[in-house]
Amino acid sequence: MTASDIAIIAGSASRLLTATICADLGVRPCETTAKVFSEGNVYVSINENIRGRDACIIQSTTVPVNRNLMEMMFFIDAARRASARSVTVVIPWFSYAKGDKRDNDERVSIRARVCADMLETAGADRVLAVDLHAPQVQGFFRIPVDNLQAIGVLGEALRHQLDENSVSVAPDAGSAKRARQFAERLRLPLAVADKRRRAHDENAEVLEIMGDVRGKTCLIIDDFTLSGKTLTSAADRLL
């Protein structure tokens, strides 16, 4: 396979990333159109021949999440209908991966599984994600999923900024495994914050810190932030 065999399609949320990838590969992205009509409908088109080529669609599901999600689905379908040989979807940030389980036996949707079904139905052959919020999301798919980890790059960057008097901190129990990975790579001790969330909103309260943080430089490890309240609450409790 050569670079000319790959048709790289930039979603609206990932144009800069796509341009950087194409520059590194020495290719140009496909000519495409993506817009939203006045009533809210999303429209996409691939404006060149990709018949027999391996399509690679790069789209992050950042804000506006639902528009970017639907645009991604429509680009997959468009590539299929344009007779692409295969369709790989690169999702740098898979927002709905947060919805990976039912909470407290409530009657809720497992949103990550719904999105997995949508990607497969639209025609994706493979998904490439980055630091999925929950590893079990890979099991929601019947197609191959590669979950790239940024810890190697981030760990090397942090290694030169931290000393032996530092500690890796998980702002909640759900982040403990990720924080432990950083702790092991950087040879740091681990501390975990006990967080309580009273409702399905962005308000969380850190109750206590489990681990020794007195007099140490604290490295808080989390995979995403919305309002920043968990991180600031953890920082306040650490102080």
Query: How many other β-carbons are positioned within 10 Å of the β-carbon of residue 132?
Result: 22
Helices in the chain by DSSP H: which ranges? 15-25, 65-81, 111-122, 151-159, 176-186, 229-238
- What does the alpha-carbon distance between residue 42 and residue 33 come to, in Å, rounded to a whole number? 11
Query: How many other β-carbons are positioned within 10 Å of the β-carbon of residue 43?
Result: 11
The one-letter code for the residue type at 156 is E
Q: Which residue among 35, 177, 195, 216 is the active-site one? A: 195
Contact 47, 9 (CB under 8 A): no
Contact 204, 198 (CB under 8 A): no
Strand-pair partners of 9: 57
Three-class SS of residue 130?
strand
Phi then psi dihedrals of residue 139, to 5 deg: -75, -10
Contact 71, 59 (CB under 8 A): yes
Active site residue 195: yes
End-to-end Cα distance, the chain: 54
Active-site residue set: 195
